[in-house]
Amino acid sequence: MTHVEKRGPNRWRARYRDLAGRERSKTFSTKHDAAQFLARIEYANHNDYMDPRGGKDLFGDYARTWQEMQVFRETTAERFAGDLKRHILPVFEFRRLDDVHPRDVQAWVRALSLSLAPTTVEVVYRQLSMIFKSAVRDGLIAVSPCRDIRLPRIVRRQIVPLTSDQVKALVDAVPEHIRALVVCVAGSGLRQGEVFGLTAERIDFVRCTVRVDQQLVTLQGRAPYVAPPKTAASHRIVPVPQLVVDAIAEHMVRFPPGDDGLLFTNRDGKPWRRNRFGEVWRIAVAEAKLPPGTRFHELRHFYASLLLRHGESVKTVQARLGHASAVETLNTYGHLWPDADDRTRRAVEKVLRNLGRPARGLDTA
């Protein structure tokens, strides 16, 4: 039996019985702290022993320990470490685990939303939530403060694919040593890391296919290296038109493969780094007179739009793009399926065509 009773100004007493049945009590300055303490005691009585002082741990100490124990991909670990340093620790590092409340988390989310995109806020919030969920699982706090938190609304931008003329303008604008790269992505839908990781043996020049089973990974303070794709769905064989195969073959003659046999490298034959390629890409976008902010990823959207325009099924588009599920494909490209509006009109008209017409044989006078 446990309960909290007020004992005076800023004095709350938590009463409970230990495992031996002896009545005990502890005084706190707030009702919340007393309730948290009793919740941990009740948890301990039904589970393994839990140190009632566990909630006194500082968030920063626990978060770093938790971080070291996670089995993350290197790119995920780098992203998490950066978000922890920039967005989470500056606010919570020296707070006790049991002294962070939902209102604190909500205020933090609100502050983040003033400078970060809603999608980024959601990612960073999920990271904080994972840490507190682990603290609950470890018996350090009774409940997580990451509950009933309102996140900024994410408005999904409808994709407007590049036109064929725009893609041609990009091909003409980029330096010669990456023209085949642009043609390859426009004709295969490969992700940036996937096309950077292509080697000659992954191109079937007879069957006109590209095998995707590795990607180029770039991390700060480390040389780029090849690694498997992020998900099982990303492993795939992509059929490509003869135009793409011919462009790659011509490229290999003019620009022999560089380090690790990579087909597409910088002028020095070294693997691309995303930031350096981004600089080259932005210059090409300007020269092609495309809208500022046009991303390299738009070539992947262009490829997807071609498949949809020619009637490919959801499952086919999913497989070609390496999406984990058809839901992801539909959420991204559902609005691009051809004649969707016309099919909707015909389907509704077929059912409602005779509404308002008098039934046969009835006198409508």
Structural domain spans, the chain? 3-52, 56-137, 164-336
For tokens 């009933």, the residue is: 148
> Poorest-confidence range of 227-236, 250-259, 354-363?
354-363
Instruction: Please give the backbone phi and psi of residue 266, each rounded to the nearest 5 degrees, phi first.
Output: -75, -175
Angle of the 164-173 helix axis to the 179-186 helix axis, nearest 10: 160
Give me the helix-helix angle, 326-333 and 314-321, nearest 10°.
Answer: 100
CA distance 196 to 258: 11
Of 364 and 113, which is predicted with more confidence?
A: 113
Q: Tell me the torsion sign for CA atoms 124, 126, 128, 134.
A: negative
Under the banding of pLDDT at 50, 70 and 90, the label for residue 132 is very high
Please give the average per-residue pLDDT across 279-293, as a whole number: 95
Q: Which residue has the tokens 């706190």?
A: 28
The CATH homologous superfamily to which domain 56-137 belongs is Tyrosine recombinase, N-terminal domain (1.10.150.130)
SS3 of 144, please?
coil
Q: Would you place residue 54 in the very low, low, confident or very high pLDDT band (cuts 50, 70, 90)?
A: low
The whole-number pLDDT of residue 143 equals: 87
More confident call, 9 vs 190: 190
Closest by Cα among 164, 202, 160, 213 to 186: 164
User: 175-189, 222-236, 299-313, 327-341: which has the highest mean pLDDT?
Assistant: 175-189
Model confidence pLDDT, tens digit, residues 4-52: 888 888 888 888 776 666 788 888 888 888 887 777 776 656 554 445 5
**Radius of gyration (Cα) for the chain, nearest Å?**
29
Structure token digits, residue 24: 């005990």
Q: What is the pLDDT of residue 362?
A: 44
Helices (H), 154-238: 164-173, 179-186, 192-196
For helices 164-173 and 298-309, what crossing angle results, to 10°?
150
> How far, in Å, CA of 80 to CA of 70, rounded?
11
Match 């350090």 to its residue by tokens: 140
The matching CATH number, chosen from 3.20.20.70, 1.10.443.10, 3.40.120.10, 3.40.228.10, for 164-336 is 1.10.443.10
pLDDT score recorded for residue 347: 64
Q: Which is higher by pLDDT, 84 or 156?
A: 84
pLDDT per residue over 320-359, tens digit each?
999 989 888 888 888 777 665 666 666 666 667 666 555 4
pLDDT computed for residue 195 by the predictor: 97
Per-position b or e across 126-138, b if 16+ CB within 10 A of its CB? ebbbbbbebbeee
- State both tokens at 140: 């350090």
**In the 8-state DSSP scheme, what is residue 272?**
P
* Burial degree of 224 (CB within 10 A; 0-12, 13-18, 19+): buried
Tell which residue, 7, 62, 66, has the closest CA to residue 31: 7
Q: Tokens 């590092």 map to which residue?
A: 93
- Residue 233 tokens, joined: 């769905």
CATH topology of domain 3-52: GCC-box Binding Domain (3.30.730)
Taking the C-alpha atoms of residue 238 and residue 22, their distance in angstroms, rounded to an integer, is: 70
If one compares 240 and 258, the residue with the highest pLDDT of the two is 240
Which residues are registered as beta bridge partners of 237? 211
CA 114, 161, 275 angle in degrees (round to 5)? Answer: 55
Predicted local distance difference test score (pLDDT) of residue 135? 93
In eight-state DSSP terms, residue 87 is I
Nearest to 75 by CA among 270, 262, 232, 274: 274
Span 251-259, average pLDDT: 89
Q: In angstroms, rounded to a whole number, what is the distance separating the alpha carbons of residues 286 and 178?
A: 16
Strand partners, 5: 13
**Identical topology for domains 3-52 and 164-336:** no
